[in-house]
Amino acid sequence: MLVRLLETPSPTGFTEQAVALVAAELEALGITPARTRKGALTWEVPGTGEGHVTFSGHVDTLGAMVKAIKPSGRLLLSALGGYDWATVEGEDVLVHTQEGRAITGTVVNVRQSTHVHGPALRELRREPSVMEVRLDEDTRSASETRNLGIGVGDFVSFDARPRVTPAGYIKARHLDNKAAVAVFLGVTRELLGAPPARTVAFHVTTYEEVGHGAATGIPAHTDELVAVDMAAVGEGQTSSEHHVTLCVADSGGPYDHALGNRLRAAARRAGLELRIDLYPYYASDGTAAWRAGGDYPVALIGPGVDASHAYERTHTDALEATATLILAHVRAGERSGAPEA
């Protein structure tokens, strides 16, 4: 399911196909999800007792829009989401036209050939003005490109290139945050077979990469919100591609301490090695929900993902650990605000 999601283009603002794929999977399980007017998807699994916990993830990804058509017929881009232009250089793309065509191309820079430009290529700073899409069409002018149906404002998606290795690693763009959405579907199947102690909601947003995904749409009866997103792996971090992480603070400040402790307790009950981390250049749907006035505790967990916002990698160990932590937490029967033993 994760590979299918990764292969479905869904840059921020252009997520309908991915949302429809998730909805179809839920309907096959006998669940009819609700759609918000903003495009998010929500579904619930009723619990056997009181309390309501919501897990939020996002299906939108990094991407771009056509900013301009150059006299050469190539395209200037405007970024959707926060990434360095060097991380998409050489990537295959689809340009999604208003007529429904998907035209292939590649992100290149204006000095791409070392045989033509020599050291000037290595000295080039990767920024929007020097990056362009080379279309796989016979076009050499702006008018010829417009005749293909391409226009300013068309969405551009990056090829995710998903790969599952024999050792259990998953490599792709956009594991942030389709990995969490795939985990939600797996957890939902488990909960349908063994109802949780509390009612569990899943809220999949479509504008997280631009900062306002969960600003609306969180179920009104939510007692606590757990955002599930990637845990960034790298120098100076404790997160691992083989573990689930509890992020206790990011650029939006600290998350709820008591809810974090309940998740720590759930990890201990499940026998998980829970990593604890902070991310200074990170924000989540939990941050967006709080800034929009959400009156509930918020925590952030997720599988470790290497090379975030580039060609990412995780391991099935981390996905399984994330699912295990979610299940342990919702089956504990603890309500928001319960004291930690």
Give the pLDDT confidence of 251-268 residue by residue, as tens digits: 999 999 999 999 999 999
Q: State the pairing for strand pair 131-135/102-109.
A: antiparallel
Q: Tell me the Ramachandran region of residue 307: left when phi exceeds 0, alpha when psi lies from -120 to 50, beta otherwise.
A: left
Is the confidence at residue 340, as pLDDT, over 50? no
Give the pLDDT confidence of 195-250 residue by residue, as tens digits: 999 999 999 999 999 999 999 999 999 999 999 999 999 999 999 999 999 999 99
- Please work out, in degrees rounded to the nearest 5, the angle formed at the alpha carbon of residue 235 by the alpha carbons of 232 and 237: 50
- Please work out, in degrees rounded to the nearest 5, the angle formed at the alpha carbon of residue 163 by the alpha carbons of 161 and 167: 160
Is the confidence at residue 297, as pLDDT, over 50? yes
Is the confidence at residue 308, as pLDDT, over 80? yes
Catalytic residue among 44, 208, 241, 334: 208
User: What is d(CA 173, CA 159) in angstroms, rounded to the nearest whole number?
Assistant: 7
Is the confidence at residue 332, as pLDDT, over 90? no
Q: State the pairing for strand pair 169-172/312-315.
A: antiparallel
For residue 208, indicate whether it is catalytic: yes
Q: Which pLDDT does position 69 carry in this prediction?
A: 98
Residue 156 parent element (H or E): strand 155-158
Do the Cβ atoms of 53 and 226 come closer than 8 Å?
yes
Question: What is the chain's Cα-based Rg?
Answer: 21
Please provide the average confidence, as pLDDT, over all residues in the chain. Answer: 96
Give the pLDDT confidence of 58-86 residue by residue, as tens digits: 999 999 999 999 999 999 999 999 999 99
Looking at residues 101-114, what average pLDDT do you find?
Answer: 97
The DSSP output letter for 209 is G
Q: Which pLDDT does position 174 carry in this prediction?
A: 98
Q: Tell me the HSE value of 202 on the side-chain side, using a 13 A CA sphere.
A: 28
Alpha-carbon dihedral 28, 30, 34, 39, rounded to 10 degrees = -10
| Token pair for 252 | 């939006």
Give the pLDDT confidence of 109-132 residue by residue, as tens digits: 999 999 999 999 999 999 999 999
Q: Which pLDDT does position 333 carry in this prediction?
A: 54
Q: Which pLDDT does position 321 carry in this prediction?
A: 98
Looking at residues 34-41, what average pLDDT do you find?
Answer: 97
Do the Cβ atoms of 202 and 33 come closer than 8 Å?
no
Is the confidence at residue 31, as pLDDT, over 80? yes
Q: Is the dihedral of CA 320, 191, 47, 217 positive or negative?
A: positive
Q: Which pLDDT does position 117 carry in this prediction?
A: 95
This prediction has a pTM of: 0.95
What pLDDT band is residue 334 in, cutting at 50, 70 and 90? very low
